[in-house]
Structure 1
Amino acid sequence: MKQAELVDVAVGPLIGGDRITTSSESAHEHIYPATGRPNATVVLAGETEIDQAVGSGTEAQKQWTALTVDRRRDKMIDLADVVHEHLDELAALNVHDYAVPVSFAGTALLLERFLRHFAGYADKPHGSSTPVNGSFDINLVERGPYGVVGVITPWNGALAVAASCVAPALAAGNAVVLKPSELAPLAALRFGELCLEAGLPPGLVNIVPAAATGGDALVRHSGIRKIFFTGGGATARLVLQAAAPNLTPVVAELGGKSANIIFDDADLDAAAMLSAHQGPLMQSGQSCACASRILVHESVYDAFVEKFLAVIDAANVGDPFDPTVTFGPVISAAAASRIVATVDDAVRCRAGDLLVGGKRMTGPLAEGFYVEPTVFGRVDNASPLAQFETFGPVVSLMGFRDEAEAVHLANSTPYGLNAFVHTRGLVRAHSVARQLEAGSVWVNQFSDISPQGPYGGYKQSGFGRTGGIDGLREFQQTKNIRVAMGTAP
């Protein structure tokens, strides 16, 4: 297993082009989830290192905005080219980070796509000119950078968040201090090195792996002009509290409990395949986009369940570096224990019928943090199992009788990040999608995030957007400039 290649590697913050090997914080022993063994020692950033990173970013941002827009555009394209040359390496580091199967580790390609897309915004019109009532004055509306922005990434998607945040931040003229989780810092740190190799000013993209202390220092720092946080709701509340004294604006992309609606006219084979991978299999259910609530029309419920369980049963479990493997471990021993406890509670409370799974895997995989893909049938929608994010390979099946009931069940959670609809009916697809309280609705497909489309949540799944023109606007401040042109006749 390639995990051994990283044993005894020491990694630390990348600030101003320099690797930090000692810090004001203690180091973290990174554990590879597929084996339960350490594969790196991570030097964590504390308050001192965060202050250095913000200072470095402040100076680099001045150099960045001193470049003409065409040169900034070309630098971003250069970075995309360098990322392209290292796609396999970044994918492998994703596997080392959190043991996501290499077959699903393609977020490096997403990073390249976002960089190329937003490079095109760097030299495009960002402002406008408008007339003014009762005057012939020149009235300009300009959009400029914030300065230094802080980006806090989750352990299950550092490169994906780097793609959706760093690319538009640079296009808008900002510097970035990116804080990956101490649980998965390796791919993000390599991306920081690639920024230097591409010729970006040192300090324009600083990478500071940190735990709670460093994250709190980043959010509270007066030199950080905006925070982009991706993670859970409980941590988001702490981020908002820490940002409040400086009135630092925060964008939050949070968790989900996504509904996946299977109508009676759906292609059941395709729906079963997509639902299995979007549910318990992809990233072992450790995704904010996990379709963990599967709503099935009663007339096809039994047929769908049979096909769905067959796909799960056929999943290849094992070494995440094996390209044929489609199901890997969860992030930690603690996560595995929490997920199994959630299953046990659901069984004890009779939240639904346990159809398959629910236990730690034994045998050759016992030392890793593998939890069986778990499916409950006929789940009570009011139960905690149906209402709260498990963040593991656990999904709930529920039946519905008509479109109105499906929409009601889908919307009956505090979350609203994603929703999925399977139907052959064009009118039904549009009608249902418009009624669902979710930031993204995917019809007959996976959650396929693209740089052209805005992504973010409704309700307790967060606020603000990444991707598309909306994502660019999140990294820009608006300024009105009015020039007197004399008195109007």
Structure 2
Amino acid sequence: MTAAALTRPAAPPGPVGLLIGSDRITATSAGTHEHLYPATGAPNTTVALASAVEIDLAVTEAARAQREWVALTVDRRRDLLIDLADVVGEHLDELAALNVHDYGVPVSYAGTALLLERFLRHYAGYVDKPHGLSTPVHGSFDVNLVEREPYGVVGVIAPWNGALAVAGSCVAPALAAGNAVVFKPSDLAPLAALRFGELCLEAGLPAGLVNVVPAGPDGGDALVRHPGIRKIHFTGGGTTARAVIRSAATNLTPVVAELGGKSANIVFDDADLDAAAMLSAHQGPLMQSGQSCACASRLLVHDSVYDAFTERFLAVVGAAKVGDPFDPTVGFGPVINEAAVDRILGAVGEAVDGRAGELLTGGHRIGAELADGYYVEPTVLGNVDNSSNLAQLETFGPVVSIIRFSDEAEAVRLANDTPYGLNAFMHTRDLRRAHGVARRLEAGSVWINTFSDMAPQGPYGGYKQSGFGRTGGLDGLNEFLQIKNVRIAMG
């Protein structure tokens, strides 16, 4: 593993304000959060946090803007979303840099800005397409219409590791469906989301249609409990999701939840081992330092190729360049904060001490010139017990377990033996096996001989404790539309 020296362009000067309507609000009763740059641990900027007061103001502004939005013709709304995609496309480098500031993701992996643009273009095309249908009614000549209408104001809650991805997969379809949005990014990573809100204004969207309100737990709870919020889309962890659902129950507000995963990555004996090792390393410990719900953190490898694959996999992991996230040649960056370092290393230490697996590489904090940042070595453990905490609990860091299997049935059993079901991966050249195994895997998405390359055309979401509801595709649009039946008597 090689290291790159640290550099850092200037972050936005603080305090960075909330975006409500067309105003930046820097003075709130919730105060400010000191944002730390994960690569150095040094202060980056200060960010204003929303309290219940600002949440109420944002919902009021959104309700006014939503009425203005749906009063526009569908052609005009479509064109404005296309204009927004154009503006985002013109600011991809800026948004990518803000992503790096937000959570230290290497700029080489900061492609969520491009994903945002793609989602905007995709859903702009749905604005002027029919969303309803008509059906015959038994024993009658009545006209029976089934229509889809916007909820009004929706709340979108994003995690720190993917605000722009959530803006694309959730805010874009919400707007296309005719809603206004109160968008709450994490206080740990709010900068790219706030800039997206500004770009909405620059593109000509009505002020207040997209309000961006970084907030801590109290502000998030105020958003979920607000009676003016008609639906919540939450992306994050299971513990927080339970709190969100309990709070949303106050007003019986429906919730969509895209949660975590403990994804299995199956390497069969007929796989291209070089390609599988490369894809598995990047889908596992390297991409976003493993801080992704889509992280393939459980590698299931056939006995006959276990040693050959593991050798290749460790070689790819060991060749990763670690260091300055702003260096486009760097492929591995820091984790989000000091607490994450402690949690990740604690999970590895527990596994090693409990003999749940054999430590093959990593397992320590990276020191020297990177010591002040939150860098954890890419960590791989072999011959891991699938029933161990390491294999069952989401580590959310650069840690991968390698587990042996002897046949297809055992691979499927091990893959499904987890409370999660967001993604599954497999590597095989056998088309019949690919289809057959995919149908038996308990996961919302199955990726075969590839990585989790999200596209706006495909629905994305989980089984089991990985959540419910979908983003992407027509299913993702329908999450932001409610159904109305209209029947007209004809005689």
Give the shorter-chain TM-score range.
over 0.9
| Aligned pair partner of 2:21 in 16, 19, 27 | 16
CA distance in 2, matches of 1:103, 1:252: 28
Q: Are the counterparts in 2 of residues 189 and 207 from structure 1 also a CA contact under 8 Å? A: yes
- Corresponding residue for residue 295 of structure 2: 290
Q: Are 2:222 and 1:217 aligned? A: yes
- Corresponding residue for residue 273 of structure 1: 278
| Aligned pair partner of 2:365 in 360, 363, 367 | 360
Q: Which runs of 5+ in 1 are unaligned?
A: none
Output aligned runs, 1:53-452, within 5 Å: 53-452=58-457
Q: Structure 1 length as normaliser, TM-score?
A: 0.99
Q: Secondary structure at the match of 1:14?
A: strand
CA distance in 1, matches of 2:407, 2:348: 29
Q: Secondary structure at the match of 1:97?
A: helix
Deviates more, 1:219-228 or 1:333-342: 333-342
Q: Structure 2 length as normaliser, TM-score?
A: 0.98
Q: Are 2:39 and 1:34 aligned? A: yes
- Corresponding residue for residue 459 of structure 1: 464
Question: In the TM superposition, what is the alpha-carbon distance from 1:8 to its structure 2 partner?
Answer: 4.4
Q: Are the counterparts in 1 of residues 7 and 324 from structure 2 also a CA contact under 8 Å? A: no
- AA in 2 matched with 1:304: F
Question: In the TM superposition, what is the alpha-carbon distance from 1:3 to its structure 2 partner?
Answer: 2.9
CA distance in 2, matches of 1:320, 1:8: 20
Output aligned runs, 1:459-478, within 5 Å: 459-478=464-483
CA distance in 2, matches of 1:160, 1:224: 22
Question: In the TM superposition, what is the alpha-carbon distance from 1:245 to its structure 2 partner?
Answer: 1.3
- The 4+ residue runs of structure 1 with deviation greater than 6 A are none
CA distance in 1, matches of 2:18, 2:412: 46
CA distance in 2, matches of 1:450, 1:142: 27
CA distance in 2, matches of 1:133, 1:287: 50
- AA in 1 matched with 2:241: A
CA distance in 2, matches of 1:192, 1:7: 15
Question: In the TM superposition, what is the alpha-carbon distance from 1:7 to its structure 2 partner?
Answer: 6.8
Question: In the TM superposition, what is the alpha-carbon distance from 1:9 to its structure 2 partner?
Answer: 2.9
Q: Secondary structure at the match of 1:311?
A: helix
Q: Secondary structure at the match of 1:375?
A: strand
Q: Are the counterparts in 1 of residues 264 and 423 from structure 2 also a CA contact under 8 Å? A: yes
Cα RMSD (Å): 0.7
Q: Are the counterparts in 2 of residues 4 and 39 from structure 1 also a CA contact under 8 Å? A: no
CA distance in 1, matches of 2:145, 2:350: 60
Q: Are the counterparts in 1 of residues 15 and 32 from structure 2 also a CA contact under 8 Å? A: no
Q: Secondary structure at the match of 2:8?
A: helix
Q: Secondary structure at the match of 1:281?
A: helix
Question: In the TM superposition, what is the alpha-carbon distance from 1:6 to its structure 2 partner?
Answer: 1.4
Question: In the TM superposition, what is the alpha-carbon distance from 1:435 to its structure 2 partner?
Answer: 0.3
Question: In the TM superposition, what is the alpha-carbon distance from 1:443 to its structure 2 partner?
Answer: 0.2
CA distance in 2, matches of 1:66, 1:478: 19
Question: In the TM superposition, what is the alpha-carbon distance from 1:24 to its structure 2 partner?
Answer: 1.5
Q: Are 2:49 and 1:51 aligned? A: no
Question: In the TM superposition, what is the alpha-carbon distance from 1:4 to its structure 2 partner?
Answer: 4.8
CA distance in 1, matches of 2:444, 2:57: 36
CA distance in 2, matches of 1:26, 1:374: 38
Q: Which runs of 5+ in 2 are unaligned?
A: 1-5
